[in-house]
Structure 1
Amino acid sequence: MTAKLTDMEIARAFERIVIDVREILRLERWLAAQCGEQATGEDIADTILNVMEDVKAVTDEALARATP
């Protein structure tokens, strides 16, 4: 039998993933800068980080709505 996750459990798991991915991208951005690929690596990382901020905002709103 498969247990279904609640909306809150899904939102919390998604939020953890977002936080982990953001940390990986920060490391990628730092490594790109160290390797002299600043423009390409930093621009890509910045764009992805901006998207992740938007995703986190939506996740936060969903969590706020689900919290009694």
Structure 2
Amino acid sequence: MTAKLTDMEIARAFERIVIDMREILRLERWLAATCGEQATGEDIADAILSVMEEVKAVTDEALARSTP
């Protein structure tokens, strides 16, 4: 029998993933700018970071609702 994760555990794990992805994308932006491919790399990273901000906002709201 497998243990089910609580909503709080899922939300916290998801939040860690979002934070890790944001750091990776910041590094990608820096590398793209350094290599002279800033338009494409930075635009892509900016778009993904924007989505990650929205995901984090939803995750934060879910955590706030589930915290007694």
TM-score band (shorter)?
over 0.9
Q: Give the 3-state SS of the residue equivalent to 2:43 in structure 1.
A: helix
The C-alpha deviation readout for 1:16-58, integer Å capped at 9, x for no partner, is: 0000000000000000000000100000000000000000000
Give the TM-score normalised by structure 2.
Answer: 0.99
CA distance in 1, matches of 2:27, 2:2: 36
How far apart are the structure 1 equivalents of 2:25 and 2:3?
A: 32
Deviation for aligned residue 1:5: 0.1
RMSD over aligned Cα, in angstroms? 0.2
Measure the CA separation in 2 of the matches of 1:45 and 1:51: 10
Sequence identity of aligned pairs in percent? 91
Displaced runs of 4+ in structure 1, greater than 3 A?
none
**Structure 2: gaps (5+ residues):** none
Question: Tell me, which stretches of 5 or more residues in structure 1 are unaligned?
Answer: none
**TM-score (norm. length: structure 1):** 0.99
